Structure 1
Amino acid sequence: MEIGIDSFAVTLPDPQTGRTVPAAERMDRLLAEVEVADQVGLDVFGIGEHHRAEFLDAAPAVILAAAAARTKRIRLTSAVTVLSAADPVRVFQDFATVDLISQGRTEMVVGRGSFGDAYPLFGFAFDDYEDLFVEKLGLLLRLREQTHVTWEGRFRAPLSGQGVFPRSHQPELPVWVGVGGTPASFARAGALGLPLMVAIIGGSFERFRPLVDLYREAGRRAGHAPEKLKVGVHAVGFVADTDEAARAAFFPGWAYMIGTVGRERGWSGVSRAQFDAMCGPQGTYLIGAPETVVARARTASAALGGVSRLTFQMSSAMQVPEAMQLSIELLGREVAPRLRG
């Protein structure tokens, strides 16, 4: 199992002081986090994409390029690229460029995004998000296979054999499909033979097993080898010396983010009891001491029939750099080796 981190470059006010870290300082801290992850032997670091005031990751390929220049071994990916609202030609060019800078360590996870902000921003109708994604994913896959593409669709100008450059360092730039809970999305990824990244941020891991089985069955019917049908999980996670220390470090930022999003979506308020339940045996949060996180990760993998990659979304604890560094170190030096063994 590969172990990594996904960051949304969150910038939140400190719950104690109310101070918000300046954007440039937060970005510097984020790049330092990637460096530490590389040094302690984690497998992958992902940068999300959002177009909101709480996040600094509107241009993930730019952040990944900076990270590529400061790291040696770790793989670098988006988490996710909102492909429905992007131009696949530009997406391919951006990530091929990062792949050259990183000398073949770049990947991308493509999806439709959990927020709708990108659609009106770039002139698309949110109601078209499904058709947009299907068309643009098809074009992106063509672009990684062929330098000169002839193509026509609904949502961008046609291509008539123009060359798309630069080409990636890797012969085939890895593309994962990021999914939430829509069965058609799981089946589509399987039929295409693309690796799957499942965002599990609530409920239970077991609830996603039928969807993962659907993905694997669709891949089998399409003739793809089982080893090609990788399943990854993006989950909320954080590591500290003790369970209580991990929860105490993570809860304030989590409560702020969930509360902010909840007010927009009409949810009720959040409580520490709800958070603790999500950290417990029936929840999906991988938050605690190393031995707790290892046990929970193994449970998650078993519930889904085997997981190839597990990435931890720990941005909500970003207010304390020392806690973030310790969490990354524990994840790389104590958690990852046990999960790989």
Structure 2
Amino acid sequence: MELGIGMFGDLQIDQKTGAIQAPQQRLHEIIEEIKLMDEVGLDFFGMGEHHRPDYAVASPEIILAAASTVTKRIKLGSAVSVISSSDPVKLYQDFATVDLLSNGRAELMAGRGSFIESFPLYGYDLKDYSSLFTEKLNLLLQINNNETVNWTGKHRASLINQEIYPRAVKKLPIWVAVGGTTESVIRAGKLGLPVMFAIIGGTYASFQSLFEVYQQAYTDSGHDMANFQVGVHMHAFFGDNSKAIAEWYYPFYAAQMNRVGASRGWPPYQRSQYDFGRSKHGHLLVGDANEMVDKILEIQESFDLTRFAAHMDVGSPDHAQMMKSIEIYGTQIIPKVKAALAK
């Protein structure tokens, strides 16, 4: 199983004044954090795409290109690229460029995104939400597989004998990120694409049926199980002492849940939700190394994962603590997880 980190580029917001951290500062911090991930042995890093004042990154591929010049081995991908409001041609070209810069370490994770700001920003209608995703994913896959493309669709001008450059070192690994929709899971299974499940609430066991549906769609479509890949993306933060890091991190996490919840009509985030999330079967991995090793192994055993992504910057914790959390993950958690899985 590969173990890595996903981030959205959250900007820290002062709880008293409402002042938002300068994006320039956060971007430089992110590059330092990715560099450390590479040094301590993480397998992959994923960067999200957002178009809001409380996030620093609108173009994951630019961050990944910068990271490619200060890293040597870590895989670099999006988490996610909002493909519905992107041009698949430009998206492929950008990630092929990252792939060339990184000597073949680029990946692309396609998703619908958890926010809708990109649709009006780039001139798309939300009523086309599903058809945009399906059509653009199919075009992206065709570009990835073919240097010369002939394609006609509804939402974009046709491509006739169009050569698309630059080309990646090899075919780009393309993942699909899904939440809780069966339709998305079945589509990915039929296409034979690896899936990353975002488990960001409730219990992880509640996703068991979706994992089974995905595997069934994958095998029913004739895909080779030797190539089967599946992962989870879960909110996480690590410290030396489980109770101390949970207490320290709670205000950052709760504030972000309330910011997102305010725009979606959610009730105020409660401490009981946080404590349940941290419990044995909950969706949060916040604690010390030994606790987290056990929980990651339990999750892996439940789903037979090939990838685990710790989403580590929810609420934008302090950079120094982020660096500490990354160090603990790379030097204490990952080696123990991999040693246990190798037995």
1:77-156 to 2 correspondence within 5 Å?
77-156=77-156
- Once the two structures are TM-superposed, the CA of residue 160 in structure 1 deviates from its matched residue by 0.3
Residue in 1 that maps onto 2:73: 73
Question: Which residue of the partner structure matches residue 332 of structure 1?
Answer: 330
**SS of residue in 2 equivalent to 1:66:** helix
Q: Retained in 2: the 8 A contact 1:4–1:45?
A: yes
State the distance in 2 between where 1:17 and 1:41 align.
38
Query: Aligned partner of 1:257: which letter?
Result: Q
Letter of the aligned partner of 2:273 in structure 1? Q
Which residue number in structure 2 is paired with residue 320 of structure 1? 318
Distance 2:76 2:248 in 1: 26
C-alpha RMSD over aligned residues: 1.3
1:303 Cα offset (Å): 2.2
What are the Cα deviations for residues 59-88 of structure 1, in whole angstroms up to 9, with x where unaligned? 110011001111111000000000011110
Partner of 2:62: 62
Q: Which runs of 5+ in 1 are unaligned?
A: none
Give 1:202's aligned residue.
201
- Farther-moved stretch of structure 1 (271-280 vs 25-34): 271-280
Give, in whole Å, the separation in 2 of the partners of 1:19 and 1:120: 26
Map residues 217-228 of structure 1 onto 2, 5 A cutoff. Answer: 217-228=216-227
Find the counterpart in structure 1 of residue 292 from structure 2: 293
Question: How far 1:229 moved relative to its partner?
Answer: 1.9
> What amino acid sits opposite 1:207 in the alignment?
S
Q: What is the aligned partner in structure 2 of residue 190 from structure 1?
A: 189
Q: Is the 8 A contact 2:10 2:315 kept in 1?
A: no
Mapped to 1, the partners of 2:64 and 2:102 lie a distance apart of 9
Mapped partners of 2:4, 2:124: distance in 1: 32
TM-score (norm 2): 0.96
The answer to whether the Cα contact below 8 Å between 2:255 and 2:315 also exists between their aligned partners in 1 is no
Letter in 2 for 1:129: Y
Residue 35 (structure 2) pairs with residue 27 (structure 1): no
1:214-256 Cα offsets, whole Å, 9 max, x none, are 1111111111111222111110011100111221232122111
Residues 39-50 of structure 1 aligned to structure 2 (within 5 Å) = 39-50=39-50
Structure 2: segments with no counterpart, 5+ residues: none
Any conservation in 1 of the 2:47–2:78 contact (CA below 8 Å)? yes
Q: Which amino acid in the other structure matches residue 51 of structure 2? A: H
SS in 1 for 2:115: coil
Q: For 1:254, give the aligned amino acid.
A: Y
Q: Percent same amino acid at aligned positions?
A: 41
State whether residues 196 and 229 of structure 1, in contact with CA within 8 Å, keep that contact through their aligned partners in structure 2.
no
Tell me whether 1:5 sits opposite 2:2 in the alignment: no
Equivalent residue letter for 2:231: G
Secondary structure in structure 2 of the residue aligned to 1:77: strand
Question: Residue 316 of structure 1: SS of its match in structure 2?
Answer: coil
* 8 Å CA contact retained: 1:109, 1:175: yes
The Cα of 1:19 is off from its aligned counterpart by: 5.1
Q: TM-score if structure 1 supplies the norm length? A: 0.97
Question: What number of residue pairs does the alignment pair up?
Answer: 339
Residues in 2 aligned to 1:19 and 1:115: alpha-carbon distance in whole angstroms: 22
SS in 1 for 2:42: coil
